[in-house]
Amino acid sequence: MSNTAAEVKIFALSEPILDELETALSPERFATYLAATGGDRGRAVRLYTWNTAASAAFYGPLQALEVTLRNGFHRNLAVRYGADWYDNPAIGLDLGCLKRVAQAKKELTRSGYAVDPPHVVADLSFGFWVSLLGSGGFQGPGRTRKANYEMALWRPALRAAFPHAPKMNRKAAHAPLDYLRTFRNRIAHHEPVFGRHLEKDYDSILEIAGWMSPEKRDWIDAHSRVREILAQPRDDGGIRF
């Protein structure tokens, strides 16, 4: 019989199983969870399980936020600089962004995909899109000239990607998104997130999504498991991810 929501099997944590799990996770990684649980290996494994479940639950909302952000930026940049805006010298991308665009094109060519705006845009990372809200780094050889993302990107294009944000400026948009970028990277690299203010992280995801599309914000919250997972005790032996 398959498990149902009302029939959750508790995984028994015997000493041999704890030994194997600690080895599989690595003593160094497991030490973080041991420290948080006063050296109780059983509770440490359950905390690791909860951390895995929380990370998995956040994947969907973060993905939805990233897709909404990149498509909103692309639409508005395309209006100002053309569909292949990333190749337009007038936009003044810095060396870091140009390198990421070149790498995306290289990977698309290697994989046999068309090197066109839909594919390039989809291949650029969350970090790339968030960086467009920064002040801009150095341009050209010699690093003698800096990009001006305030004037080249934010005012003529990116500000319009947040139509529902009250009194939005570039720095106010960049700060929370950059914080969520580091959060996303921790999840992607299977790092501990249990020490964060996860409720605030989730509220931030919803708030920023609402700046772009209230409908998308409501869709995320209606389908997300985050609140359910955060409400479960961290030492619950029946938690599932």
Q: For residue range 86-144, list pLDDT tens digits in order.
A: 999 999 999 999 999 999 999 999 999 999 999 999 999 999 999 999 999 999 777 77
On whether residue 9 sits in a domain, the answer given is: no
Residue 6: pLDDT band with limits 50, 70, 90: low
pLDDT tens track for 151-162? 999 999 999 999
Kindly report the CA angle at 177 between 241 and 66, in degrees rounded to 5? Answer: 60
Rounded to two decimals, the pTM is 0.92
* Residue owning tokens 């009302």: 6
pLDDT, averaged across the chain? 94
Other beta carbons within 10 angstroms of residue 132's beta carbon come to: 27
Residue 1 lies in a domain: no
Q: How many residues are listed for the chain in this entry?
A: 241
For the stretch 191-241, pLDDT in tens is 999 999 999 999 999 999 999 999 999 999 999 999 999 999 999 999 999
Find the mean pLDDT for residues 7-29.
Answer: 90
| Burial bucket for residue 20 (CB in 10 Å: 0-12, 13-18, 19+) | exposed
Q: How many domains, the chain?
A: 1
Q: Is residue 202 a part of any domain in this protein?
A: yes
pLDDT digits (tens, 9 = 90+) for 38-76: 999 999 999 999 999 999 999 999 999 999 999 999 999
Asked if residue 163 is part of any domain, the answer here is yes
CA nearest neighbour of 132 among 84, 100, 89: 100
The candidate with the shortest Cα–Cα distance to 234, out of 55, 50, 85, 53, is 50
Asked if residue 52 is part of any domain, the answer here is: yes
The residue range of the domain holding 31 is 17-231
Residue 239 lies in a domain: no
**Spatial distance between the Cα atoms of 20 and 136, rounded to a whole number of angstroms:** 48
In this structure, is residue 59 part of a structural domain? Answer: yes
In a domain, 127, yes or no: yes
Radius of gyration of the chain (CA): 22
Per DSSP, which regions of the chain are E strands? 138-139, 145-146
